[in-house]
Structure 1
């Protein structure tokens, strides 16, 4: 499968190693979020692939910069519980494409793959099937049966085949309340924790970009129209991780105009004032009018404004939304 960007650059997405383009320079890991730490792991294989390809006069032995990850998420396989993702596959592809990656290989994670020893994983997956020329991993990377292989172990095993392995140190950040290396570590779990608490700014710092929701606009109950605040009801990938329920100041991009942001207010929640029965994601665009049904929206989270609450009347809800719009304009005012 080829995923094309608007300017024609492509990422080849392979659902198994049999469909992969080879030989490869591989960054190996789960890469959920493609955060600042992940980007440091990816950087060496971009440099290596670019360097070697420049030195070759033909494409006979072209080396494809490749991210290799697992699908479904290993945690989902072992627990049997659906695992929400910061970056579902399509969104991960977008982020990798922006970094210059040419290929994403999704290793089907199941009984067979999880039973491979570290030695078998290197020989069968990396050497025989992917024809790796270079590998990059984070220093906390584990692989093979019962996670028995470490980054150092991988370096040792790959050396037998003449494959260099770059081990990238754990990336840290300087947080105000950080008291230990573990707390300072940039990780997917810490980003999820910040988002679950509504700490959008901290999550965005660790990601190196705004946390984003991407979805298609579908018809809702249209209650917003009746109180003067029409909203776009977003349908997101079912595995997308949702941050804390409540109201956010957001930047919105409509599919045909990805270079122009529109100020917005987003609500994530059950809409208790109108007796909602399930979580929805609704976005109100400020100072904008038009038909959005069926269009894809990209919503960047800027700031958590307040928790969701139940109002005694639609009039009270309307008054609060007006206050939310004022607050969002203050947050986003200097950016437009």
Structure 2
């Protein structure tokens, strides 16, 4: 997938999905469908698009903002469900061909809705179709609505597809339906309700990072762990223990694999051993090997318990053994 922050380097023409797309949740995936269709169905299979492009075959393009507008106006960094490397990977898997990261600055923020459509979408990006969610806002002081976008784009003969807000099924303790949004997913993760978060995402929430050396305390008590270094903007869920499916990437001894490995992940400050900074550590069940420097992706399948301080190392070891047995049973049922 082509990624650029310069409109001079954009592949054109483009079928554009507009928005922040943090999480690439089920609602976002609905917004992406019209641009994937525009890029693929007009007699232009993916293999042909790599060789020949013309005005009848636009590039399936996601246009978002960097930094997030909220970061720009508040000056505070925003924790993200999908930092850029993860967002790129997910969009590519869905079939998106190009990601345009519009630099969000005072000049862009000052554009009126009309100017944004004319200058950015039409002249620079050469949009042939545009897709947004019904709550999309744009232009100076967020003055433009999705319907405004449709009206302005119509003057250029460009169709705007507006996708309604999406919902998913709740469970017995929730409302019958849940409105899907990035903020609702963040709330579910903060509460440790990984089931609810995953239903809204349409997949398991993942943590993707590089394995680095930690204090190696897990190894000394019989449960070696891989210490994950995550992007600093990655949103961590509630501190505690999760059962996870782990995917490994890289080269070398049995590292390249598409199948998952069962694991138990601890997120938190490890109060039993006087930890004072949060760590993300995963113990792989029934697997051994050298992971240092490798990229590891852990999909969170179930929240097992909150973080707690144990009276002794032996008590901690007993609880970890129990956690591993429970995780193994849960993950075996899900396969």
TM-score (norm 1): 0.93
Cross-structure match for 2:295: 296
Matched, 1:93 2:83: no
Cross-structure match for 1:18: 8
Which structure 1 segments of 5+ residues have no match? Answer: 1-10
Which aligned pairs between 1:27-106 and structure 2 lie closer than 5 A?
27-52=17-42, 54=44, 59-61=53-55, 62-106=57-101
Larger deviation, residues 53-62 vs 151-160: 53-62
Q: How far does the alpha carbon of each residue in 1:219-253 deviate from its partner, in whole angstroms, 9 at most, with x for none?
A: 00011111100110000011111000000000111
Q: How far does the alpha carbon of each residue in 1:171-205 deviate from its partner, in whole angstroms, 9 at most, with x for none?
A: 1112135559xx72110001111111111111111
In 2, Cα distance between the equivalents of 1:81 and 1:325?
Answer: 38
Q: CA RMSD in A?
A: 1.6
Matched, 1:205 2:195: no
Which structure 2 segments of 5+ residues have no match? Answer: 250-254
Cross-structure match for 1:219: 213
Cross-structure match for 1:331: 330
Shift of 1:35: 0.5
Shift of 1:74: 1.2
Which aligned pairs between 1:104-253 and structure 2 lie closer than 5 A?
104-176=99-171, 177-179=173-175, 184-253=178-247
In 2, Cα distance between the equivalents of 1:50 and 1:290?
Answer: 42
> Is this contact kept in 2: 1:53–1:63, CA < 8 A?
no
Shift of 1:50: 1.5
Over 3 Å counting, the alpha-carbon distance change for 1:253 and 1:142 in structure 2 is same
Over 3 Å counting, the alpha-carbon distance change for 1:306 and 1:179 in structure 2 is closer
Matched, 1:267 2:257: no
Q: Which runs of 4+ in 1 moved over 6 A?
A: none
Q: How far does the alpha carbon of each residue in 1:12-64 deviate from its partner, in whole angstroms, 9 at most, with x for none?
A: 00112222111100000110000000000000011112233539995243411
SS at match of 1:238: coil
Over 3 Å counting, the alpha-carbon distance change for 1:43 and 1:190 in structure 2 is same
In 2, Cα distance between the equivalents of 1:179 and 1:333?
Answer: 29
